[in-house]
Each structure stands twice: as C-alpha cells, then as structure tokens.
Structure 1
C-alpha cells in the first residue's frame, strides 16, 4: 500500500510518476503505513471475527453485507481521519484560519484521502468475501481447492465422526417442522466452535446428523481430538441448557461413532460442485451409529481408533469393550468400544 500510494497520475503529461506524499522520507512514510493498518487491522479484525460474524450467522447474506460494509466504511473513515491528522496535517490544520474547513479539505476531500478510503474499502470487501469462503470451506480444504488437489480423485486416510440428535423423530413431532429446524440450527451452531477447536472439519450435514472429519496429523492424534471433540460439544450444549429448555422445552441429547480408514476424495458434480469422500469407512461408521442405541452408549469408537489414543490421553477416558460384532451389511467383524469421560475429568 505504501508503494501504491507513492504512484501518482499527472493529467498534464498523461503519465505516472513516483513521489512520496507530504514531502516525507519513504522510510517514515512506510513506518506510518505499517503502524496504521497493523493497529487498525487488529482492532477491526477482532471486532469483525469475534463480534460481527458471530452475531450475523443467522442473518441473510444481504444483511451480512450491509452491516459489514457500514462497519468497514465507518472504521476506515475514522482511521483515515486520525492517522493523517496525527502524522501529516496536524500543524497545518491547527494553524489554519478555519481549522474545520481545512480539516475537511485535507482529510475528506483530498484526492489522496479519497483514494486511501477506496483502497481500504476494496480490501475490506475482499476480507468479507474471504470470511464467507472460510465459513464454507476450512483453510486446508480451501488451499487444496486452489492448488487443484481435488480435480483428480485420490486416496487419503482420515478419521470420521458421525454425530446425530437422539430421538429426533419424537422431538420433530413434538415441536413441529419449523421449530425442529430452528432447534437443529441452534444445535449445529453451538457445536461449531468445539469442532474447530478440536481441529475438526465439518464434512456435511445430513438431516439431524453432522459428519466431522480429521486428517491424520500428529497434533490431531497426540491430543486425541477425535475423542475430546465429542465431550467439548457436550459441554457446549450443557452450557446452553437453560436456553434450550426455555426455547424448546428440552436439552438436546446426541450420540456419535468414530472410525478411521482410507477414502477416495475428489470434486463431484458440474453445476453445484462439492468435495466428496467415498469409501467403506463411511458405511462402517454409519452402521456403528446404530450400535449406540443397541449397546446403550453415547459414544462408540472402533478398535482402530482405540489403538490410536495416546497413553496419557487414554487415562482421561473409560473404554468399555463391546466385543467384536458383525455390522449390518458387512462381512468382516469390527471391534467396538464405548467411551465415557472419567468423573474426575468432568
């Protein structure tokens, strides 16, 4: 931005020339252009991500755009009034016969000031679109899309968790379709942060079920995020218990199954392209979900997942062997474990 601001168009010659504004040295001008955006970016980014995005999740896209545009415009305008006044025009404005008129001329109507506001508004717009893309795709998925890794299907090993709302049919009958949909929306929204904090990636929503996946990174395995994620979600829902009871007359209860294996991943579709995972592991995990009701377990993991849990993390959980059983539609038997968090860890 500092270099860009030093390029000026001369209508007389019809060409561009390079000059540092305000008769400053380029080093000082560069310093100002580092300090202003750094401080402003930290404040604006914090407000945007921690406040605005959270509050606008359930609003329409156009409302989201309008509020963020007004926020960016106001913030950029204030920043471009304060920084130039402090570093460039303070003495000139203070010593002017009509300080207010001089301030308006230099800080608002000056072509340099207008270009500065327009430049940062473009950056603000790109930031808003980037955040929407971030909500659609995780950073790793977005990077892979940009690099074209999904153009050709390839095999990867991942961990999958299938998690769904218990007794959803009876709840839907009790609440009706509209309120049940609102319940699911709140339910999935409240588990988003626990999933992200566990390095999980939301693969898809299927009715009252959510599918979460993890790559086999060292940090994921070391922290047993595929297990802790479930209990983080449980804690998040419990904290909102009063809200759910007041709004829906119930506290959501859910169950989950976790398994790992190789899947094929690639882009699917022409008009509405999606990144799709395909493989036997997905069918197996879905069948494991059925065992939660049969075995009266809220979280079931496969033998492969149990073997991945580090010893220091295993101490936090009670793993109950459920035996080796044949799952519906499968010829091979799969060893299953029920998982509970130890009371001292609650």
Structure 2
C-alpha cells in the first residue's frame, strides 16, 4: 500500500509539472516574437507556426517529457536525494529535466518524420533554425524548468494543498474545519540528545522523520508542525475511516522504526520509540504571519491532544486518545481500547474521557 501511495504522489507531481510545462511551451510561442520573427519574415515557418504542427509538437513534447518526469521524480524522491540541500535538489533535477527534454525533442522529431513531414520538409525546418531562435528557446526552457522545480520544492515545504491556498488567500479569513490531530513525541529525547551530542542527535531526528514520511504518504496525513523532537500530524475528518487511519498511521510508524532496528543501533546505538496523543474536533484554520506565512490551526482539539501526549508517559508510552475519538472509530477489531478514566484539561469545564490503545500484532511495541 505504501508503494502505491508513493507512486500516486509521484504521478500527481508529474502531472502538475507536465501541465506547467505545457503552459510554458504555449507561452513561449505566444511571447517569443523575437525568436520567431525571422521565420515569419521569410515564410520558412509560417505554415508550421500557424498550422497544426505546433500543437502536435506541444502535445508530443509534453507527454513524452511527462513520462520521463515520472521516472526522474521517483528517483529524486529517494531518501539519499531528499537529504541534499534544496538548492542542490533543484539544480540536480533541472539537469535531469534538460536531458529528459532533449530525449523528448528526439521523440518529436521521430513523430514528425514518420507522420507529419516529409524528409525534405523536416530538413528544411531544421536547417532554417537560427541562432536567435536557439538562444531564445534555450533561455526560456532553462527558466521554465528552474521555476517549475522551485514551485514543486516550495509545494513540498508547505505541504500538498497548502501552496494554492496561500497563493489564493483562501485562509486569509478564518475557516472552520473538522480535523484530527496526532501528536508524536520521542521517548527519552533528553537522554538520547545527551548521549549522541547535538550534531549526531540532529541526524538521528532527521532519520526518524524520513521514516515518518512514508507513513504520512500512505495515510494521506498532513505534517502540521515539527517542534524539536515532536511532530504534529493532521487529517481533515471528512471520510468515515479517517479516525481509524490516524491510529493505523501511529502503529505503522512504530512498526517501521522497529523494522529498522539494526540500522538505528548501528548508526546511533539507540532505537527510537514514539508515543502519541490524538483528539478530533472543530478548529479554526487561518493564515498567520507576514514575513513568514503559514496556515495555523487553533482550537480545543490541539490542546487536548497535547495533554493526552503528556499522559502517554503515565500509561507506558502508549497511544492515548480521547473518548470523542473512540466514539468515531468503527470496525477497529485490530485495536484494543482500555478505558483510563476522565481528565479535566486546563481551561475547560467539561471532562474528557481517555483511552489507551494497543495493537497486538506489534507485541511489546504497542
């Protein structure tokens, strides 16, 4: 299931890039009068530019280029590449995109040769290419690829779905949303930090978060915040099985860390163990900040989930959920819920029922 979700994520990225690239190609034909003026003046390209050939070129170029992008994106999404600085990723992917574009151009020429133009016509078109056109096309292509890569990396930084919301100002006015929040916290983080030292501890946390990424993709979660050794995941509570998925995400993350026990012991001498707290409810989503903007959530579910995370230490570092979350979960035969009583969070008049959650397939990890 993880691989299918990752492929879907990469495919969606490729579709976005393909659309952006197709738009950029059309913009080139509309805006690059300086580059094509020579052809229009001597009629060498008049029939081609004003006829169906230019549209066939854009279609073939975009489709073949898009397929290659899927391959490049799949490769660049590996942990080894994602660990590179953002600038290095942009440059590396841009170079690979240029190579892919050269291959796509070869595909265009092949289709032209087989279906659209005679050898003489194709030779005339290629032979009449001027340095002015090559310069304008190369500059436009380079800028488009760099800009597309920049947009895609910014999209990753703010999270899928948030970039368009920030551009359009969707959250400039507060919006009410029903959401689920999972707070994750590293057990014995202070002890581990003292043992490893600042630099190695930072690498340790990064490794944990890279392992978390696959779980996030698999369960379509949104990473709301990284706060030191704490991570907050969130879901829109619009589908019936979303509460159940949030529980599965927690235990699958623990299982993934357990499966990589040998790696963590070899590199860091310690295996990470995360505890969690989950609550659900209506929150306010709004855009905050000016110099640095982000989408923030405010409401009782976040405060309650944070309190449940603190309580997880009392209950053997397990997952602790609210009674409201328990009531929203159906068909949860894989989980065991243990009622632990009620608490009254600070500032609230109503008490909150709490449950610890176990998953027998993980044995002692749960």
What's the TM-score bracket when you normalise by the shorter of the two chains? 0.7 to 0.9
Which shows bigger deviation, 114-123 or 285-294? 114-123
- Cα deviation, residue 190, structure 1: 1.1
Which shows bigger deviation, 179-188 or 30-39? 30-39
- Cα deviation, residue 136, structure 1: 1.6
Match of 1:226 in 2: 246
Number of corresponding residues: 333
Shift in alpha-carbon separation, 1:6–1:266, aligned structure 2, 3 A: closer
**2:77 & 2:129 partners in 1: Cα distance?**
29
Q: TM-score, structure 2 length as denominator?
A: 0.78
Preserved contact between residue 6 and residue 20 of structure 1 (Cα < 8 Å): no
Preserved contact between residue 288 and residue 327 of structure 1 (Cα < 8 Å): no
Which shows bigger deviation, 195-204 or 129-138? 129-138
Shift in alpha-carbon separation, 1:344–1:255, aligned structure 2, 3 A: closer
Match of 2:356 among 338, 341, 344: 338
CA offset digits 1:88-131 (Å, max 9, x no partner): 4884599x9xxxxx99x659867666655555444422321222
Shift in alpha-carbon separation, 1:243–1:30, aligned structure 2, 3 A: same
Match of 2:92 among 62, 67, 70: 67
Match of 2:257 among 228, 237, 247: 237
Preserved contact between residue 26 and residue 58 of structure 2 (Cα < 8 Å): no
**1:272 & 1:13 partners in 2: Cα distance?**
47
1:40 is the counterpart of 2:65: yes
- Unmatched runs of 5 consecutive residues or more in structure 1: 97-101
**2:346 & 2:244 partners in 1: Cα distance?**
28
Q: TM-score, structure 1 length as denominator?
A: 0.83
Q: Which has the higher contact order (CA 8 A, sep 6+)?
A: 2
Preserved contact between residue 260 and residue 304 of structure 1 (Cα < 8 Å): yes
Match of 1:190 among 195, 206, 211: 211
1:247 is the counterpart of 2:274: no
**1:177 & 1:245 partners in 2: Cα distance?**
18
Match of 1:289 in 2: 309
Match of 1:21 among 27, 35, 48: 48
**1:170 & 1:133 partners in 2: Cα distance?**
34
Match of 1:133 in 2: 154
- Cα deviation, residue 248, structure 1: 0.3
Preserved contact between residue 186 and residue 274 of structure 2 (Cα < 8 Å): yes
- Cα deviation, residue 40, structure 1: 2.4
Shift in alpha-carbon separation, 1:140–1:66, aligned structure 2, 3 A: closer
Q: CA RMSD in A?
A: 3.5
1:87 is the counterpart of 2:108: no
Preserved contact between residue 106 and residue 113 of structure 1 (Cα < 8 Å): no
- Cα deviation, residue 186, structure 1: 1.0
**2:260 & 2:310 partners in 1: Cα distance?**
27
Which shows bigger deviation, 223-232 or 324-333? 324-333
Match of 1:304 in 2: 324
Match of 1:99 in 2: none
Secondary structure at the counterpart of residue 312 of structure 2: helix
Shift in alpha-carbon separation, 1:240–1:16, aligned structure 2, 3 A: farther
1:52 is the counterpart of 2:76: yes
Match of 1:280 among 291, 300, 307: 300
**1:179 & 1:146 partners in 2: Cα distance?**
37
